[in-house]
Amino acid sequence: MKTLGRFLIVVTIGVFASALAFGQSSILTIPGLDHNRSVKVARTRGIQSSTDAISNANLNNYYIGYDFVMSRNLIGQDDHSKCLSRLTILWDELEGQPEAAQVETLMRMVVRGIGTEQDRNAKLEAAQVAVELRLKGEQKWYYSLGKSYTKLSFDLETKDSNVIRARMVELGKLGQSAPTTVPPAFAAALVKIGVYAAKSSLSDDDVAVVTAQFETIDKILTA
């Protein structure tokens, strides 16, 4: 598989009345996570002694959330190869779990051209619901973060200030409810994102601070 890489989503957001407004000259650069990381590498990474380390299991839970979002985005596209590639990664992340069989069924549907887009989304949704019912505590927290952080990348593309602010608030709440095992710098970055979401407008300096929080998150996730 490809090695870990990152893509940059650069969005210039205009001024929105009575909502989260970014200065017209401000460019918010969000370092997203493109799941080019080898799943084998992610799983075999040793648990580091650093306070910024995230265990293999929790990193995997994060990526499960990430890949459910990415898979849903790709199911409706014409490029089935990308969809299958993403579903294969998700299937591998769910190895040994009951939902792996559901994802495998979905992969066969894509390969064989079975069902409509709605049918495939329903199959993915069923697997996602099952995962969310099964995961608890710390596992569920990392999974939820993977979903929310990834959705923000798509939210930025909409340039809808209300949607963007709501997602930033969501990330802030995750930071506030972080389990004790979550790296302190990681949780603090999430909390700060939520704080800035409450501002009526963001200056260029504010945008730089928000961007720095995402860089902190990415640095810890990809260590």
In a domain, 58, yes or no: yes
Between the alpha carbon of residue 162 and those of residues 13, 21, 28, 198, the distances in Å are: 12, 9, 16, 11
CA distance 49 to 38: 22
* CB-based burial label for 84 (10 Å; 0-12, 13-18, 19+): middle
When the pLDDT of each residue in the chain is averaged and rounded to a whole number, the result is: 79
Question: Residue 36 corresponds to which tokens in the numbers above?
Answer: 């080019």
On whether both 130 and 56 belong to a single domain, the answer is yes
Q: Which of 106, 134, 162 is the last residue of a domain?
A: 134
Amino acid occupying residue 119: D
On whether both 56 and 114 belong to a single domain, the answer is yes
Residue 201, beta-bridge partner list: 21
Q: Among 210, 161, 204, which residue's Cα sits nearest to residue 23?
A: 204
On whether both 86 and 21 belong to a single domain, the answer is no
Across 74-88, average pLDDT: 90
In a domain, 86, yes or no: yes
Q: Which of 134, 162, 195 is the last residue of a domain?
A: 134
Stretch among 38-52, 141-155, 166-180, 199-213 having the lowest mean pLDDT? 38-52
Residues 89-122: tens digit of each pLDDT: 999 999 999 999 999 999 999 999 999 999 999 9
Q: How confident is the model at residue 159 (pLDDT cuts 50, 70, 90)?
A: confident
On whether both 125 and 60 belong to a single domain, the answer is yes
DSSP, res 5: B
In a domain, 3, yes or no: no
Residues 124-152: tens digit of each pLDDT: 999 999 999 999 999 999 999 999 999 99
Residues 5-51: tens digit of each pLDDT: 222 222 222 222 222 333 333 344 444 323 333 333 343 344 444 55
Q: Please say whether the beta carbons of 145 and 104 come within 8 A.
A: no
In a domain, 140, yes or no: no
Enclosing domain of residue 83: 52-134
Q: Among 76, 70, 31, 83, which residue's Cα sits nearest to residue 221?
A: 31
Q: How confident is the model at residue 158 (pLDDT cuts 50, 70, 90)?
A: confident
* Pairing mode, strands 21-22 and 201-202: parallel
pLDDT at 32: 38
On whether both 64 and 101 belong to a single domain, the answer is yes
Overall number of domains in the chain: 2
On whether both 25 and 87 belong to a single domain, the answer is no
In a domain, 139, yes or no: no
On whether both 59 and 117 belong to a single domain, the answer is yes
